[in-house]
Structures are given as C-alpha cells and as structure tokens.
Chain A
Amino acid sequence: METWTEERRPLRVIVAKAGLDGHDRGAKVIARALRDAGMEVIYTGLFQTPEQIVQTAIQEDADGIGLSILSGAHMTLFPLVLEQLKEQGADDVVFFGGGTIPADDAEELKRLGVRQIFTPGAPLSEIIEFVERECGKRRELVG
C-alpha cells in the first residue's frame, strides 16, 4: 500500500444538506464519487442549519463545502452560509452547491459568492474536476 505523505494529504470536502428537504440521493452519490476520486468527504447528515455547516467546515479544516438543496429554499440558505463563512473568517473555503436551482437564481448565487452551482444532470466527472481544481488551489494558498 502506498503511504500517505504531505503531498498526498487528500482534499477534505464537506457534503451538506440544509433545510428541511430529505432528498439526499444526489448528495450521497456525490459524496461517494468524491471519495472514489481520493478525497476525504465529511457528510453532515440531513436538516443542517447554515451555522452547523460552517462550524463543521472550520473544525474539519475543510477545503470545500458542497451544499445540496432541492426544496426551493436555495435563495435563503446559500446566502446564509456565505454570511456565516464571512463572519467566521472562513471564506477561503470553496463553497459550491447543487439542486433544483433555476439558471437565473444560479447566476445570482454566483454573483453573491457561491463558486459554482451544479444542476441535475451535471456529470460527476465535471463536479470532481471542479472540486479538485478549486480546492487544490485553496490548499496551495492556505497550506
């Protein structure tokens, strides 16, 4: 077995479900795919508040947070997570999301600071590539 070295310390990514919707099929598939791509994925479970998600990211020294929302509450919950990240000085964490999110809402969320929004049908390879690239950059900056 190969050893885990400094260079190979896997990226750490939070996969979170916020709000009241329990549709976790997408979140779980993405968690598994990121794991299979060699990352350490911390799954928060369902029904998390923005405060819980950001505290988790801090304690876990996460490189990224992927938030899945399918209930239509995205325009409330994404901005609340962004606000928390800024407040806690953790806005270097790569924050991205997915779910049933109309294109113009996605644009608005990106304008606010969400790094990317993946809608249903986005290939896993594209999500993995995004996380590796963006979280990799964050790792270089933060060390």
Chain B
Amino acid sequence: MDDLLGAFRAGDPRALARAISRCESGRVADLIRALYPLTGRAITIGLTGPPGVGKSTLTSALVTHVRGLGKTVGVISVDPSSPFSHGALLGDRIRLAEHFVDRDVFIRSMASRGHLGGVAGATADAASLMDAFGKDVVLIETVGVGQSEIEIAEIADTTLVALQPGSGDSVQVLKAGVLEIADVFVVNKSDHPMALQLQREIRSMMEMLNFSGWVPALISTQAVEGKNVDKLWEAILKHDAWLRESGELAQKRRAAFAHRVRQLAMGTLEGRVERVIEQLDGDMDPYAAAAGVLSAFGVGDGVHVHSGAHAHGGVRATVKGL
C-alpha cells in the first residue's frame, strides 16, 4: 500500500493503473482516504449517447483538442460486461490509438461488471484517482446502449449528450430521460442531411422544460474531422465557469458526495440483507419478511415497512406543468 501510494504520488502511471484495479475489486478505501485531499481539481466531463453516434471519435477529438491546449487528460471508457460469462470485450480504445504513446494521456477501459446506468461501480473512484494523479481533464465515456444512463450526471461536472441525425435511437434517448441531464447537447455528424431537423427536435423538447439557471448548450460537430470541437470545448468551459460562479459546483459535488456515500453504504447493506433473505422461510408474506429483516438490523418496529425507495438523480430540469 505504501509502495503503491509512493509510486502514485511520484507520478508513475503503473501505480495509477493498479490503483484503478483496486477500485474495481473494492480494496481502495485506504488509497482514497490518503488521496482524497488531492481531488477536486480536474474538470470531469461525462459523455453519453446512443450507439453509433461516434462517442469514441468525439472523445478522441476532444483529447486532441485539450492536448493542443497543453492540458493532461484521463479517459475512462465503459463497455458492458456479459451477464453470462462476466467477461467483456473492450474495444473503445481503438479510436484513441493516436494518443497511446502520449504520456500525458491515460486511457482506461472499464467493464460495467453488472452495474447498470451506463457506468461501472468503480467509475467514480477511478475518476477521482485520475483527478488526484493530476490530470487536468477527466473524460468518462458511458456504455451508451440507449438505455437511461443518468448516473453519469452524478459523477461528472459537465454532462455531454451526443446525438446523431437520422437515427431513431437519438429520439428514443431523448425521450428516455437523458434530456434532463444534458449540460451540452452535441449533434455529431453535422454534415448529415437530417442534422438540422435533429437540432429543431432538441430545441422543441427543451422548450417543454423549466431550467433553473443553466440552459443546455447545443453544439454541432463532425468529430471525424475535428470540426467544431473547439466550440464544444468552449461550451464545456462556459458551463464550468457557470458552475463555479453560481455556487452550483459546490452543491453538485456535495450531491455527488452523497451519491457516492449512499452507494458505498447501500452496497454493503445490500449484501448483508441478501444474506438474511437467504435464510428466510419462503412461506412468509413479503411485507412480514421485510419487517423481519429490518428488525434483524434493529430498524423499524418489526411491523411497518415502506413499499418504495426514493429516486435520486442529478436531474437538472423538471417537466413544465408538473
């Protein structure tokens, strides 16, 4: 542990790599405790969007741009694990090949390992580690399977939602709730004949929402050619400045902190609840059983239970009229 911490502080990329592996196997508490004071300096950017939208290409173009400004970058890219074998094929790196030998770019592929919501359970910790390691910018690319991937908004300071013209998937994604988490919309492949129509669709959906403070930016890019990536970066910086000036950043980070603590605590609790459930008599009704479980932890009166959990999310906007 001390060796690893020393190497980490000395800037050895292998130490960062090992530390991220520890996040993935849940043995990172000591490390995070030691490094936590070093976090909070990086701009953390989340990138989500449906398959085929060119997330990896966009990531690569952003890395190129940010490196051109002399900033160091960490990239986390998440792909799904197979629920059957627990294995995963992680291929997002291919698009980032030109950055492989740049010592100021650190790229880590992560398998979701059963975690839903577009990121892996260890993504937040890995992003903190990259931050503590001294990366100026941390970019997180989500799985992007078109499902509701709103957890990224809990982790990232600025969330980019990438959409592509002429694809039904993009409209589905908008409807699925990512609209509410976007700080910046990116319409990639802007040379597509349907690009303008998609922009109109996004605007009209935005009109149905109340925004408190920040109104999401809308940027069109052609990531393959690096076109308008500078504009995208400006929008990210603008959002970042707004976060700081409005005091929203502190609130966001407080919420992210709460999310993380909740995750860790609930994760442990869940495991223990599971073990009690395994011992239960199958003839009991679920309410009585739940009350029994809770009393085993000294919670509740052994009779009353709630039937639903509260939803937590980094939702930026609410639907008008609700």
A: which residues have CB within 8 A of B? 1-6, 8-10, 12, 31-32, 34-45, 48-49, 51-52, 55-56, 58-61, 88-90, 142
B86 CB contact (under 8 Å) in A8, A48, A55, A142: A8
Chain B stretch 69-96: residues in CB contact (< 8 A) with chain A: 81-83, 85-91, 93-94
> Closest B-chain residue to A139, C-beta based?
B21
| A32 → B minimal CB distance (Å) | 7
Determine whether the beta carbon of A52 is less than 8 Å from that of B101: yes
Query: Which residues in B have their C-beta under 8 angstroms from that of A55?
Result: 100-101
Task: Give complex CA distance A89, B82 in Å.
Answer: 32
Q: Does B313 contact A (CB under 8 A)?
A: no
Task: Give complex CA distance A55, B87 in Å.
Answer: 22
Query: Which residues in B have their C-beta under 8 angstroms from that of A38?
Result: 85-87
Task: Give complex CA distance A142, B4 in Å.
Answer: 12
Query: Which residues in B have their C-beta under 8 angstroms from that of A142?
Result: 18
Task: Give complex CA distance A6, B24 in Å.
Answer: 8
Determine whether the beta carbon of A61 is less than 8 Å from that of B20: yes
A1 CB contact (under 8 Å) in B83, B90, B91: B83
A35 CB contact (under 8 Å) in B89, B97, B108: B89
Determine whether the beta carbon of A89 is less than 8 Å from that of B91: no
> Closest A-chain residue to B4, C-beta based?
A143
Query: Which residues in B have their C-beta under 8 angstroms from that of A2?
Result: 86, 114
11 CB < 8 A contacts A-B:
A3-B271, A10-B86, A10-B87, A35-B88, A40-B109, A40-B111, A41-B88, A42-B90, A58-B17, A60-B109, A142-B18
Determine whether the beta carbon of A34 is less than 8 Å from that of B87: yes
